[in-house]
Amino acid sequence: MARSGGRTVWLHASSVGEVQAAIILIGALRDTIGNATIVVTTTTEQGHRLASSRLPTAVCLMAPLDLPQAVRRAVRTLRPDCYVCLETEIWPAMLTEVRRAGISMLLLNGRISPRSFRRYLRIRGFLAPLLDGFRHVAVISEADGQRYAALGAPASRIQVCGNLKYDIETPSPEEMRATSRRRLAVDGERVFLCGSTHEGEEEQLMAGFRALATRGPAVWVIAPRHLERFSAVESLLRRAGMAFDRFSALAAGAPRQADVVVVDTIGDLADLYAGGDYVFCGGSLVKVGGHNIVEAARWGRAVYFGPHMKGCQDAADLLMRMGGGFQVADGHALADLLLSHADAPEQYAIACARAADMAASQRGAVARQVALVCGVLSGC
């Protein structure tokens, strides 16, 4: 692979969630190390599409198969100065061969849920030598650090750095809100924006939209977590007798003709949250574990989510404690809460302000993790 003359950083981000963190990290790396070649590998097509669309200056590839021969071939081609994996991307052949090639490795934005930790403990003897290969293990929370240490990562190399996803750059909330609402073709309507939804959630969320519509004109925006679910969501809406528009058409300038919008694009949700009046984050009414609620909170939007937030429990607890997040048992409870907030706009505005305060208080992770990468590169 042709090099730019500077360093080469190989960053592995498995799917959409990790790519979102990679976008933030790479932006800061570009500001710090300038002409470095950044290679981003992913293991899912959806992650690859997002990386290719949002990281035009990076080399975006599908990850090699986790086989020694395939990894060795990739290492010879890419010739990286360091290898960075995000969250919990522990691929045995990859880590073994990269370390054997003498390439410094870092694990950034490390996180392990309690459920995954219990599974990993059963193979601790296998994982410990792999984790020992990392120069640095930057974790999101103290609990994550304790879990990595228990699995064999050297405690001296573990640092609590916070979550990269909390450091997503936030332009003017007012300007982004106006832009997002224009792209959604809404004006004075209340927007109920449901992001990263999974199978079984749209049926429950429908009650919330119908309740909100009793208080005046309302628009329901649904952003399924996975592209392959768009047709299933649209079929559900048709069965319910609900007309809908596709976001891609509205963003291209088509007039909105329905009160439901299905987001059929990748990479737009984080900014669209700014255009919502009431925001729900999915993967939480069903047993998925939740998704990044700070993406919405940073725009000054209170966030609703269901009971299943194990993947984002720290953020959920903090947001609720600060008064900017609301956990509900099911779609009916959410509908009741939406009506309560619609009928008490001053109280709801306070909750939105507290959500923005929570998001602002959590920034700084990207600077700490960029410093680890730069420290490793300076020694290469």
Residues with catalytic roles: 18
Over the range 324-335, which residues count as b (16 or more CB within 10 Å of their CB) and which as e? bbbbbeebebbb
Q: Calculate the alpha carbon distances from 156 to 28, 57, 132, 139 in Å.
A: 25, 35, 11, 13
Q: Is 169 exposed, middle or buried (0-12, 13-18, 19+ CB in 10 A)?
A: exposed
- What are residue 39's DSSP bridge partners? 10, 59
User: Which has the closest alpha carbon to 376: 39, 28, 83?
Assistant: 83
Q: Rounded distance, CA 323 to CA 190, Å?
A: 22
Q: Is 12 helix (H, G, I), strand (E, B) or coil?
A: strand
215 DSSP assignment: T
Asked whether 186 and 221 are in contact (CB, 8 A), the reply is no
